[in-house]
Structure 1
Amino acid sequence: MPSLHDDLSLPFQIEQCDVRGRLVRLGPALDRILSRHAYPEPVAQLLAEAMALAATMATALKFDGIFSLQAKGDGPVSTLVADCRTPGHLRGYASFDAERLDGLELGPGAERALVPLLLGKGYLAFTIDPQGPDMERYQGIVDLSGSTLAEAAHAYFAQSEQLNARVVLAAAHRKGTDGRRYWRGGGILLQQLPIQAGGLGDDERELAWEKATALLSTTRADELCDPAISQNDLLFRLFHEDGVRVFEASALADACTCSSDKVRGILSTFSAEELGDMADADGRITVTCQFCSAGYDFPAADFSASGAKA
Structure 2
Amino acid sequence: MDDAILPFQIDSSGLRGRSARLGAALDAILDRHDYPAPVAGLLGETVTLAALLASTLKYDGVFTLQTKGDGPVSLMVADVTSTGDIRGYARFDANRLPHDGTPTFRDLLGAGHLAFTVDQGEHTERYQGIVELTGDTLAECLTHYFRQSEQINAGLKLAVGRGDAGWRAGGLMLQRLPDQEKIIPASDREDDWRRAMILMESATDAELLDPGLAPSRLLYRLFHEDGVRVFDPQPVRDRCRCSRDKVTAALTAIPRAELETLKIDGRVEVNCEFCNTTYRFDDADLDRLKEEARAES
Q: What TM-score does the superposition give when structure 1 sets the normalisation length?
A: 0.89
Give CA-to-partner distance per residue, 1:201-233, whole Å, 9 cap, x none.
111112111111121122221111110111011
SS at structure 2 position matched to 1:224: helix
Q: Which residue of structure 2 lines up, in the alignment, with residue 98 of structure 1?
A: 94
Structure 1 distance, partners of 2:100, 2:116, is: 28
Q: Which residue of structure 2 lines up, in the alignment, with residue 12 of structure 1?
A: 8
Instruction: State how 1:151-230 maps to structure 2 within 5 Å.
Output: 151-176=140-165, 182-196=166-180, 199-230=183-214
Give CA-to-partner distance per residue, 1:219-266, whole Å, 9 cap, x none.
221111110111011101211111110011111100100000100111
SS at structure 2 position matched to 1:229: coil
Structure 1 distance, partners of 2:38, 2:100, is: 8
Structure 2 distance, partners of 1:93, 1:198, is: 41
Give CA-to-partner distance per residue, 1:72-107, whole Å, 9 cap, x none.
111111100001111111000000111111xx1442
Please, which runs of 5 or more residues in structure 1 have no aligned partner?
177-181
Cα drift, residue 184 of structure 1: 0.2
Give the counterpart of 1:118 among 108, 117, 121: 108
Give the counterpart of 1:130 among 120, 124, 138: 120
Q: Which residue of structure 2 lines up, in the alignment, with residue 262 of structure 1?
A: 246
Residues matched between the structures, number: 291
SS at structure 2 position matched to 1:17: coil
SS at structure 1 position matched to 2:178: coil
The answer as to whether partners of 2:143 and 2:153 remain within 8 angstroms in 1 is no
Cα drift, residue 158 of structure 1: 1.8
Give the counterpart of 1:292 among 251, 275, 280: 275
Structure 1 distance, partners of 2:167, 2:249, is: 34
Runs (4 or more) in structure 1 with deviation over 6 Å come to none
| Percent identity of equivalent pairs | 48
Structure 2 distance, partners of 1:126, 1:34, is: 21
Greater CA deviation, 158-167 or 200-209? 158-167
Q: 1:196 to 1:78 in 2, by over 3 A?
A: closer
The answer as to whether partners of 1:18 and 1:193 remain within 8 angstroms in 2 is no
SS at structure 2 position matched to 1:124: strand
Cα drift, residue 199 of structure 1: 2.7
Structure 2 distance, partners of 1:8, 1:156, is: 25
Please, which runs of 5 or more residues in structure 2 have no aligned partner?
none
Cα drift, residue 269 of structure 1: 2.1
Give CA-to-partner distance per residue, 1:27-79, whole Å, 9 cap, x none.
00111111111211110000001000000000111222211001011111110
Structure 1 distance, partners of 2:260, 2:127, is: 38
Q: 1:184 to 1:197 in 2, by over 3 A?
A: closer
- Check if 1:241 corresponds to 2:225: yes
Structure 2 distance, partners of 1:268, 1:160, is: 42
Give the counterpart of 2:47 among 36, 44, 51: 51
Q: Which residue of structure 1 lines up, in the alignment, with residue 85 of structure 2?
A: 89
Cα drift, residue 277 of structure 1: 1.5
Q: 1:82 to 1:207 in 2, by over 3 A?
A: same
Give the counterpart of 2:261 among 246, 271, 277: 277
